[in-house]
Amino acid sequence: MKVPQTLAILADNRRRGLSESQAGVPWSKTPWKKYFPEHAGFFDNLPNQPLQRSEILQACSSADRSPDDAVQAFLAAMAWGYGPIGYGPWRTKRMFDEDSDAGDRLHQVARSLISDGSVEAYRLLANSCRLKWLGPAYGTKFLYFCPQAPDRPPGLILDRLVARWLRQHEVLDLSAAHWSTLTYENYVHAMRSWANELDLQPGELEEAIFVQAREEARKELRGRFTDG
């Protein structure tokens, strides 16, 4: 698959050190420990702040071992995803309150990631293993941070910013608002193909897109205030 020029530029800037990696995400342990006291020790072992991608990858490295490990991996991914947003712990707790077997479902998804790959794991998370109130933007964060099948496209985050950037720059026409296994399949296969051509890991390419998309969104917002 031919690499779009916009992605080639992003990759070149990353290799030359002209673009930044995603900054760490600030967070507070206190509300997470309040809503999940049974996992207080797990949260205590996470860095105070900010949370880096590499640290969450490590925290999720045992997600496939047991339902409890899968739950803790999910909590780490949600803590990183929500960051300083105050309602993050409450929203996450609501998911578990609605689904008493949430740990079993997340464990099944994590095991599928290794045995069947990210597309089938996404299919499970979008259907039989879906948690109520969980959308694909945060669901794919869980897929990204968990251990991966070595011979399949890895799980990648597909959120609103990444999907919007890809669409605006005419790279891929995707939506991150609704669960769609076909959409995710097209996304992870295209990203792996492009990343191989650009000598990057797929996750590095997604991160570069996210950082660029966030910067463009901030400039757009500043422009609106300036024009007004």
Task: Please list, in sequence order, all residues whose beta carbon lies within 8 angstroms of the beta carbon of residue 142, skipping any fewer than 6 positions away.
Answer: 60, 73, 74, 77, 78, 106, 109, 125
The residue count for the chain: 228
Sign of CA dihedral 32, 58, 214, 178: negative
Question: What percentage of the chain carries pLDDT values higher than 90?
Answer: 83
Q: What angle do CA 13, 23, 149 make, to 5 degrees?
A: 80
Q: pLDDT band for position 125 (50/70/90)?
A: very high
* SS3 call for 25: strand
Give the pTM.
0.94
Domain ranges of the chain: 5-227
What digits encode the pLDDT tens for the residues 84-119? 999 999 999 999 999 899 999 999 999 999 999 999
- The one-letter amino acid at 135: G
What digits encode the pLDDT tens for the residues 135-146? 999 999 999 999
What digits encode the pLDDT tens for the residues 70-82? 999 999 999 999 9
